[in-house]
């Protein structure tokens, strides 16, 4: 919370020029989102589901988990008691510490997994619906991804928030058929998405950071296949791209937004 307080103060809120302050705040958050520590990124994403100026109390949050199906019954225990014991693994490491994860097995009741300060070689093998059926929050950085890894990720039944960064580039077409059935908040770095009908049916907010060169004038993203989308933020990095490529990428995103029935807010 100390780091979040620093971020809050740096942005600056005040009664003067309120509308301009709000707009500047949104721009700062959009541009500097990926410079935040991993745990602050997840905090920002998760808090965005609540209304502005909303007081979030522990008890009401646990009841919300219960209502959304995060909490599962245990013999002899009430749902609220179980909710207070939900496990979230927060790991923040510095330096080459990949070896410490070899052979690690998560608890089956794992609710959230966040790891910062390092990049894993790939998605852990335990990221699947059998090993972690209750996993709701995943915040992780990897060097590269494979199609079968992403397929297992997309089939996690309880996943609500995904923050995935990769070092290289990856083009990912997300088909329908039950993939990401409950995902509401998605943040991806260096991954260009195409959505098919039925993909991510519950998604409301999406944060993307990627090179502008990954899109061309004829690119089709398929935002119209996201019926609940309300907010999308796209950081198009210009390195390695021509001026024409940058303008084409911007035009692709604006075209998709203009065609979406919800007219979600967008920051490019």
Tell me the whole-structure pTM to 2 decimals: 0.67
Q: What is the pLDDT of residues 117-128, one digit of tens each?
A: 778 888 999 999
Winning range, highest mean pLDDT, from 7-16, 159-168, 212-221, 259-268: 159-168
Alpha carbon 102 to its chain centroid, in Å, reads 25
Q: For residues 88 and 125, which has the higher predicted lDDT (pLDDT)? A: 125
Q: What angle do CA 235, 137, 93 make, to 5 degrees?
A: 80
Q: List, in sequence order, the alpha helices (H) in the chain.
A: 2-11, 18-32, 38-47, 58-67, 79-84, 147-154, 243-259
Confidence category of residue 228, pLDDT binned at 50, 70, 90: very high
Q: For residues 11 and 190, which has the higher predicted lDDT (pLDDT)? A: 190
User: What is the C-alpha separation between 161 and 28, in angstroms, rounded?
Assistant: 22
Tokens standing for residue 52? 């502005």
Q: What is the pLDDT of residues 230-247, one digit of tens each?
A: 888 888 888 888 888 889
Alpha carbon 111 to its chain centroid, in Å, reads 15
Domains along the chain with CATH numbers: 36-267 (3.80.10)
User: What is the C-alpha separation between 251 and 138, in angstroms, rounded?
Assistant: 31
């Amino acid at each position: 919370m100390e780091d979040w307080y620093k971020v809050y103060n740096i942005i600056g809120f005040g009664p003067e020029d309120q509308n301009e302050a709000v707009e500047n705040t949104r721009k700062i958050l959009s541009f500097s989102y990926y410079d935040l520590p991993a745990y602050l990124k997840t905090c920002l994403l998760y808090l965005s589901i609540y209304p502005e100026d909303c007081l979030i109390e522990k008890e009401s949050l646990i009841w919300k988990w219960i209502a959304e199906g995060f909490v599962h019954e245990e013999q002899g225990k009430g749902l609220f008691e179980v909710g207070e014991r939900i496990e979230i693994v927060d790991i923040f490491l510095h330096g080459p510490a990949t070896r410490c994860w070899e052979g690690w097995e998560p608890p089956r009741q794992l609710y959230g997994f966040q790891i910062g300060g390092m990049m894993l070689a790939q998605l852990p093998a335990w990221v699947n619906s059998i090993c972690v059926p209750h996993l709701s929050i995943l915040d992780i950085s990897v060097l590269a991804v494979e199609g079968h890894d992403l397929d297992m990720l997309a089939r996690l039944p309880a996943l609500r928030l995904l923050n995935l960064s990769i070092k290289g580039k990856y083009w990912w077409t997300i088909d329908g058929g039950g993939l990401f059935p409950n995902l509401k908040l998605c943040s991806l770095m260096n991954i260009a998405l195409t959505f098919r009908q039925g993909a991510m049916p519950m998604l409301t907010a999406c944060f993307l950071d990627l090179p502008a060169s990954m899109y061309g004038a004829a690119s089709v993203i398929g935002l119209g296949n996201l019926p609940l989308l309300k907010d999308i933020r796209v950081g198009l990095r210009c390195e390695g791209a021509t001026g024409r490529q940058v303008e084409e990428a911007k035009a692709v995103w604006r075209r998709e937004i203009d065609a979406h029935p919800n007219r979600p807010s967008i920051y490019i």
